[in-house]
Amino acid sequence: MTSLFGRLSNFYFWYFAFVGAFAPFFSLYLQRRGFAPLEIAVLLGISPTLRILVPFFWAWLADHWGHKYKLLRIFAFISPVLFAFMIAKGSFSSVAGVLIIWGLLWSGILPIAEALCVEALGEEISIYGRVRVWGSIGFILVVVSGGYLFEWLDVLYLDWIICALLVIILGAVLMLPRDNELSARPNEVAQPIFFLKDQRIIALMVCFFIMQFAHGAYNAFFSIFVVDLGHSKSTVGWLWAIAVIAEIFIFLWMPRLFKRFSINDFFLFCFSLGLFFLVALINIKFWYRFSYVFYLIIIALLIYVDFFGLSALGAKRWINFYFFNIQPSELMKV
């Protein structure tokens, strides 16, 4: 298990080291190449857009073919070659074309690697957090060192750095467990459309959509925003690293947290905390201006709960939103 732990941890370390170079600094790289904000937004939106559906196809192919490792190796071989075309410094359309073709393959690497990791760990799945935490460490080391590096090195060299990291990831993939090393299990082919009939899955996907939507502007323009405020690129690196440092603590404490709280409780806490900060950031004048609108919405909810609400302990007070319940009478008190 020690050897397996090292091989899996090594992959996560270098994969998220790549993310630590790409996510914080690629927007600065595109800005340095002279692209307009709208062009940067489009280019940075290509990869998330591809990740909506493409991983389903790669997962289906991996299930049918039955060779996750071979498919992963193909992706890892081709990815640095494709991204190398970025060095050519082409136009917006050529860069978009490179990112689309590269993204089609790259979007399948992590999902398949995760599936391979779960199968490889088998009954030792409880140590997944300890394996995955090395990804966070890789991210922090690269994003912080990258911030200091780009203080004296032109950010245009980022494409070379990313290509080098992709080659290292190829080496890490070659060290992963092969298909014949995985625990034998029936090759069940999942049909995603069936999962979409489950309301819990739909609710979970809605949560993911909201999370990604909320982070869209952050992921695309936060680094540019910080630099435009006059801060250094090393500051950019540290600001990105702070969030991941918090993530490390969560990974380490996750087994203890799940002993005391359910996953549903954890989701609700995170969602509520995010909503709390969102409301706190909105100017109080906004709430005054639209107070009557909110008042009418809550009245509509009170009427709705009278006809379609959930009943408990002899009272009908709640509305079911699949992953949590709302009590409109409490909103009216606000």
Together in a domain, 23 and 140? yes
Of the listed ranges 68-77, 124-133, 157-166, 216-225, the one predicted with least confidence: 124-133
Share of the chain above pLDDT 90, in %: 25
pLDDT band for 248, please (50, 70, 90 cuts): confident
State the amino acid at position 25 in one-letter form. F
Q: Is residue 229 part of a domain?
A: yes
Question: Looking at residue 194, what is its pLDDT?
Answer: 55
Together in a domain, 241 and 320? no
Together in a domain, 238 and 313? no
Q: Phi/psi at 318 (nearest 5 deg)?
A: -115, 150
Tell me the pLDDT tens digit for each residue of 153-197: 999 999 999 999 999 999 999 888 776 655 545 455 455 555 566
Together in a domain, 25 and 152? yes
- Structure-model confidence comparison of residues 142 and 128, the more confident one: 142
Please count the structural domains in the chain.
Answer: 2
pLDDT at 79 over 80: yes
Together in a domain, 253 and 286? no
Together in a domain, 81 and 13? yes
Average pLDDT over residues 36-58: 86
Question: Looking at residue 315, what is its pLDDT?
Answer: 64
Here the tokens at position 173 are 């993939």
Contact 132, 14 (CB under 8 A): no
pLDDT band for 216, please (50, 70, 90 cuts): confident
Strands 325-326 and 315-320: antiparallel
Tell me the pLDDT tens digit for each residue of 48-67: 888 877 887 887 787 777 77
pLDDT at 101 over 70: yes
Question: Looking at residue 15, what is its pLDDT?
Answer: 94
Q: How many CA atoms lie within 13 A of 240 on its CB side?
A: 36
Average pLDDT over residues 123-150: 86
Question: Looking at residue 206, what is its pLDDT?
Answer: 76
Together in a domain, 253 and 130? yes
CATH number of the domain encompassing residue 238: 1.20.1250.20
Q: Is residue 253 part of a domain?
A: yes
- Structure-model confidence comparison of residues 109 and 277, the more confident one: 109
Q: Single out the residue of 180, 182, 184, 164 nearest to residue 172, CA to CA.
A: 164
Question: Looking at residue 60, what is its pLDDT?
Answer: 78
Together in a domain, 44 and 182? yes
CA distance 147 to 155: 10
Q: Single out the residue of 101, 152, 134 nearest to residue 19, CA to CA.
A: 134
Average pLDDT over residues 311-324: 65
Q: Residue 291: which domain range?
A: 279-333
Q: Single out the residue of 281, 287, 248 nearest to residue 132, CA to CA.
A: 248
Together in a domain, 121 and 201? yes
Together in a domain, 251 and 285? no
Tell me the pLDDT tens digit for each residue of 4-25: 778 888 999 999 999 999 999 9
Q: Is residue 269 part of a domain?
A: no
Q: Is residue 212 part of a domain?
A: no
CA distance 311 to 309: 7
